[in-house]
Amino acid sequence: GIMDRAVAVGGGTNVGAVYLRRGDARRAGALGGCAQHIGGQDLPPVRAGECLLLRGRVEARRGEIDRSRASLEAAHESFASVESTKASQPLVEPVRLALVEGDVQAARKFIAALPETESPKQAAELAILDADLERAAAGDTLMVALRAMPS
């Protein structure tokens, strides 16, 4: 049934993400495509968002920036439709893409547009991105690190 397919999709996207972190975009993309195929049209929004998020990351790794942004936006919409805590994940990816491209101004714009978060994990990810941004801009990474520390 749908729950079995949702579990299979979750496994496929998780393994795909591992391959992507290890630098194998081809396998990651294949697993993401397979997961999306298994899930079909009636996939729960969170699982659909996971497929789209992986696809966006793979496309970014391949240099397909416009496709990546479209996939990430679709992932965000899918997560947000059910108020998932994962909704901010696709919003962070454009910051990473801008930094890879060396576009510090775009990265600053994307960071400024990110919603506030209550999640300690998301706050830590944003602090790391902030430090990466400051490093790319030849800024003061120590001040960014100090701002990230809880008071």
Q: Is pLDDT larger for residue 82 or for residue 118?
A: 82
Mean pLDDT of 57-69: 87
Evaluate if residue 55 carries a pLDDT over 90. yes
pLDDT value of residue 140: 62
**What pTM was estimated for this model as a whole?**
0.74
pLDDT-derived band at 144 (thresholds 50, 70, 90) equals: low
Mean pLDDT of 86-97: 82
- Extended beta strands in the chain, E state: none
- Extended beta strands in 4-46, E state: none
Q: Is pLDDT larger for residue 141 or for residue 90?
A: 90
Helices 104-113 & 120-136 angle (0-180, nearest 10): 160
Q: Is pLDDT larger for residue 143 or for residue 132?
A: 132
pLDDT value of residue 142: 65
pLDDT value of residue 80: 87
pLDDT per position as a tens digit, 99-130: 877 888 888 888 887 777 777 877 888 888 88
Give the mean pLDDT of the chain.
84
- One-letter amino acid at 134 equals E
By the 8 A CB rule, do 47 and 84 touch? no
pLDDT per position as a tens digit, 25-47: 999 999 999 998 988 888 889 99
Mean pLDDT of 95-100: 82
DSSP 140: -
